[in-house]
Each structure stands twice: as structure tokens, then as C-alpha cells.
A and B are shown apart, each in its own frame.
Chain A
Amino acid sequence: MNIVTDTDILFDSIRARNPENILTRLQSVGHEIYVPLTVLGEVMLVGCLSMPSRKEDLLEVMDYCEKLAPSVLIPNIKLRKCCQCIDEIAERNGITDRTNLSYATAYNTKKDPINYYVTTDRPVVHIRLPCETSCKLVPPEIILPSMLRRTLLSK
């Protein structure tokens, strides 16, 4: 399965300091982890500019990414369309965290679908993505880490 992760999941992974954290476990059983460029940007922003300083966290995320070896998603033409679509829904639902989710839909193709977008942001989990009607694609499932753990790691 292809899984796109939100920023909090990366930070939680280092906080847990646990070899059994969700991203490590998902990858160890063969799932592919994708990190949008905006997630790396947020990690950098929080790490560099937070007061008190969280530079240690930034270094830990870097070390963690070196071990986890996720793939990084860069902006593309489809992302613009996805941002607009998701903006419309987000306005109605009061959701603020949109761009990271848009990366998951922008890289969701028929040939190589993105299956899950994992986030700790509860309001996002309840939105219904319009990928089916606008692009004839099965949208990625937006899922909380606990649910993803149950779905993919409980066997």
C-alpha cells in the first residue's frame, strides 16, 4: 500500500522514540511511505523557528528519515487542481490542513494509487474527497494512525 503521511505523524514518530512506531512498522511489512514536500517544509519551519528551539527535533526527524527512507513528493500540475478541489470542501468543513492532503490526491493515479493519507487531524478524517466525480479516481482513504494500525498492522 502507498501511504502519504502528515507532519504530526513524523514528529510523533520521533517523540515515540520507539522502534515499533507506526511508520517504521508499516515500512517493515512492505508498505511505501511518502512525504509531501510541504511536510518537510513544516518540519523545517517548526525545527528552525520555534521558541523554545526545536532544532534537536529537526535533527531527529532528519535521522529518522534517513533510516525510514521515505519517498518525497514534489509539486506538480495536478496539485494545483487538487488544492482548488480540496479548498472548496475545506471551506465548507472548516478544515485548515489542506495542502498536505492535496499532495496525496495529486499523486494518486490509476496506475499507482495512493491508498491512505495518515493524519492526526480529526476533522480531516471526516471529509469526503471528490476524486471520484472530478477525476474518476478512487480517493486515498484519510485515516487516523490508530485506525491505520488496526487496518494494516493488526494481523
Chain B
Amino acid sequence: MDQTPIDIYYERSMGPQLEKKDDQTMNDKTKPKPLDFVGMSYTTELGRQMPYGAVINSKGIIKRVMTEEDYPEL
């Protein structure tokens, strides 16, 4: 089956780490939230999806994702 733009986006942003299941389309419910990125390899695409930042370990794995709650002063 041909890849839709959403499939391409999903693949580029998640890489092979999160496998897309059959018939699963990415919408607000299925789209991973920044906190779900913990444990994944950092990519520039994931970086864009973490506006509050993240701590990356020396192996390039996302160790902690910062959220709005970390920054009540903003």
C-alpha cells in the first residue's frame, strides 16, 4: 500500500522505534505525546516536538522530557 503523508510523517518522526500498526492512522489520540518520547533515540524531529526541552543521555537516548508543569513561571 502507498504511504500517505501521515505515514511518512510518522515514520520520519518515530523512526523504527514505534511500529505503526495496521489500519492505525495518526490523529490526536494516537499521536505520541512528548512524555512518550522517554527511552527513544533523540532525533531533530523529536526535538521539535519537545518545546520545553529534554535531557538526553550520552547514548543519545531521551532521558527526561520537560513539560509545561516544569515551568509555571512561563
Genuine A/B complex: yes
Q: Chain B residue with minimal CB distance to A80?
A: B74
* The one of A75, A111, A134, A136 that contacts B70, using a Cβ cutoff of 8 Å: A111
Q: Chain B residue with minimal CB distance to A136?
A: B73
Taking CB atoms, residues of chain B closer than 8 Å to A112 are 64, 70
Taking CB atoms, residues of chain A closer than 8 Å to B63 are 71
Whether A77 and B74, one on each chain, are in contact in the complex, defined by CB atoms closer than 8 angstroms, is yes
Complex alpha-carbon distance, A34 and B66, angstroms:
15
Whether B53 and A66, one on each chain, are in contact in the complex, defined by CB atoms closer than 8 angstroms, is no
Taking the closest CB of chain B, its distance from the CB of A20, in whole angstroms, is 20
Complex alpha-carbon distance, A74 and B54, angstroms:
6
Give the one of B56, B57, B63, B66 with max A CB within 10 A.
B66
Whether B74 and A78, one on each chain, are in contact in the complex, defined by CB atoms closer than 8 angstroms, is yes
Give the one of B53, B56, B57 with max A CB within 10 A.
B53
Query: Given A107-B66, A137-B73, do A65 and B58 touch, yes or no (CB 8 Å)?
Result: yes
Taking the closest CB of chain B, its distance from the CB of A35, in whole angstroms, is 9
Whether B47 and A74, one on each chain, are in contact in the complex, defined by CB atoms closer than 8 angstroms, is yes
Listed from nearest, the 6 A-B pairs whose CB atoms lie closest are A76-B53, A135-B73, A69-B58, A72-B56, A109-B70, A71-B55
Given contacts A77-B71, A78-B53, 13 further A-B contacts (CB under 8 A): A68-B58, A71-B57, A71-B58, A74-B47, A74-B50, A74-B53, A74-B56, A75-B53, A76-B52, A77-B74, A106-B53, A107-B55, A109-B66
